[in-house]
Structure 1
């Protein structure tokens, strides 16, 4: 059942559906505000736990959010105790991120039942909302302004797409589906030797997301690819990308928790790289609580490999540099699953954060290596 939030206006009361992709609960207290509210006053209210429903000008709301974000950076990131370990630094970094996101998420706007924002100078958000939420049903919603702006930004990414040389075209990520902006892991899949002649090869792409790795395999001539995901959004995204690239006839997309039925010559998986709790839909591609997907893939791989088949595990060692998982743990999981490592292909990340000295996790990111582990039955 949809959650409903109600608030008082004068002697009356209004209500609307509560939307939160991050799964935040409806605010316990809500106050309507407008352009007369200063950034300092808004900060004090938000810091005290008050949610604010903006009824002023749309452009001014965006300016207010920017001013609040600057205050959050200054006050939440104030110098404190220096973490003793990389794991402590990561925990502190995630805590600060969570505090900042939780505070800024309390600035709300209304989205009408037709997906129009009833504010002066409001931009048209109908198309991004339809893409993320489906067709409007006539019921108004309250949503975090920060989340709505992220939805709009994601829709621009979806329209523009990301050029991936290994597929010879663009991948268009949907809202909540991770964008393949880190091309180094895609290139590993593009150049690793296939375990059998491409035309005779059946491959599984476990946790396909945008479909980029399924597309790489199809471009390499793999005869048939079965791409799985638990998220309907991801499957819709993958299907759309594969159709646009002219590869839909070679790839079947299906809803599954990890593996489809049967055995394959090649099983590819790019699980989330960090064992931590995600706080938004797109973070599920980065954070894997208790390494659930990684361990599940390894534990089930042998049962889904044909004779002489291979599993390709694409994984960064960032978790190791952050003290979240050791290399020995990974090797123990591989061995316990009845698997052996036939080869490991390594590459260094090229993304900007790997070179950003002001990043709180810079030391770990600078040492990071992304690997494709070629696994076989022991």
Structure 2
């Protein structure tokens, strides 16, 4: 752990420090004060908004309640002072932000919320134990994410709760009807809770059953679906070490280790296949943490990379299956014409497509800030071939 950054604070008049852990890659806060059960939520919120972190020394469950109180305060909408002519401008604009403005405001609010809630910090022993009253046993959850520890460290409570939740999901698993079994996602690996794209791969007629590539496999769910459908050999790729380990474990538990090979690669493995499947991140925006890389793809880099390299990795007469939501189009982030232009420039043609509507709760939640785009969203399996 010697290569980890250090966090510094003053406690009882003594300068102290510890290793700093952040899965989001955030630097340690510069200003840290000690907080405990006597610290009010209003005080904590003010300090967190100012960029001061609070290292907790009180009861663990009280810290959890304080985090909930901070979250409620971040959701309060501030009263806006009316500027001259503002009402007229709002009326001219229809009283609502454009889709891309709504998206940018939503992302900004998410970022500010994460930064504020991340200011509540916890101490950890080298054993991953939290030395606070009523603290749960979090050693296994931390071990799965951080690996072995050799010295005490400090991390945010919000991150710890995320790891606990991921640990429970990993144990419980996510039911995948197309597999009649469960997939067990690891922390930081995109969970297939939205099953539309899985259903598309499970029902689309296969061009061949000899070999398939699964690009960016994540949990390995699509590779497993292809194997279950009778594809004799599946080569699944990913770059992230955690995703590779997660996929290998899932494939082994499902009994497809003989049919599915998991390899580390930047997009494509060597060779050609009659079927190449890819479910890239759907939104061309910058992720704010490594966990978001499965959702946000800056400048559509993975999508463009898949399209540009597909022709070189398709066997004659083969098909590339691109699984892509059109949410970015409804948000004004990537027009359909741009996608079609990339397909054409890569020497590809559209052989066909299958569409499916999302089933997740936010698609029908009128209170969601991106409801207009989500309610119109369609997920498509694009069947692509070489021109």
Cα offset, 1:76, TM superposition: 6.2
Query: Aligned partners of 1:266 and 1:79: how far apart in 2?
Result: 57
Q: Which residue of 1 aligns with 2:87?
A: none
Q: Which residue of 2 aligns with 1:321?
A: 330
Q: Which residue of 1 aligns with 2:136?
A: 123
Change (3 A) 1:114 1:211: same
Q: Which residue of 2 aligns with 1:184?
A: 196
Structural mapping, 1:1-378, within 5 Å: 1-75=3-77, 83-135=96-148, 137-196=149-208, 198=209, 201-378=210-387
Query: Aligned partners of 1:324 and 1:330: how far apart in 2?
Result: 11
Partner SS state of residue 74, structure 1: coil
Contact persistence 2:24–2:291 (CA under 8 A): no
Partner SS state of residue 209, structure 1: coil
Partner SS state of residue 75, structure 2: helix
RMSD: 1.4
Query: Aligned partners of 2:363 and 2:150: how far apart in 1?
Result: 46
The runs of 5 or more residues in structure 1 that have no matched partner are none
TM-score, normalised with respect to structure 1 = 0.97
Size of the aligned set, in residue pairs, is 374
Change (3 A) 1:61 1:317: same
Change (3 A) 1:266 1:24: same
Query: Aligned partners of 2:304 and 2:315: how far apart in 1?
Result: 20
TM-score, normalised with respect to structure 2 = 0.94
Cα offset, 1:195, TM superposition: 1.0
Query: Aligned partners of 2:79 and 2:369: how far apart in 1?
Result: 10
Partner SS state of residue 167, structure 1: coil
Query: Aligned partners of 2:186 and 2:318: how far apart in 1?
Result: 32
Change (3 A) 1:22 1:336: same
Contact persistence 1:343–1:375 (CA under 8 A): yes
Give deviations 1:92-126, integer Å, cap 9, x for gaps: 00000101110110110011110000100000000
Give deviations 1:216-235, integer Å, cap 9, x for gaps: 00000101001100101001
- Of 8-17 and 52-61, deviating more is 8-17
Query: Aligned partners of 2:292 and 2:79: how far apart in 1?
Result: 22
The runs of 5 or more residues in structure 2 that have no matched partner are 83-89
Contact persistence 2:8–2:30 (CA under 8 A): no
Query: Aligned partners of 1:83 and 1:223: how far apart in 2?
Result: 52
